[in-house]
Amino acid sequence: MHIIWTLLIGLLAGIVAKIITPGKDPGGCIVTMLLGIAGAFLATYLGQMIGWYKAGQGAGFIGAVVGAVILLVAYHILRKIMS
């Protein structure tokens, strides 16, 4: 059940990040879910480095959205550099 909950939060975080971030974004539903999940992992990692989260503690929904937005902004920057 934990994996299903993580996928659902990842999907919702990816959707919110795509709405917040302007510009053309990659992929459909699966990429959106993966973006949200990757954002949650990024937020957890950065939060643990800064000291906001303890070991074994994950980022919440807002952290996942922030992480996904960071990934989308990085994607847009790399896309401009490559073209």
Name the one residue in this structure whose structure tokens are 């990934």. Answer: 71
What residues contact residue 22 under an 8 Å CB cut-off, 6+ apart?
none
Query: How far apart are alpha carbons 45 and 21 in whole angstroms?
Result: 22
Q: What is the mean pLDDT of each run of 10 residues along the chain (83 residues)?
A: 71 85 72 80 84 76 86 84 85
Amino acid at 50: I
Query: How far apart are alpha carbons 48 and 4 in whole angstroms?
Result: 24
pTM: 0.77
Residue 52 CB: number of other CB atoms within 10 A? Answer: 13
The pair of three-digit structure tokens given for residue 10, joined into one six-digit string: 């990842």
Q: Where are the domains of the chain?
A: 2-82
pLDDT recorded at residue 2: 58
The pair of three-digit structure tokens given for residue 74, joined into one six-digit string: 């990085």
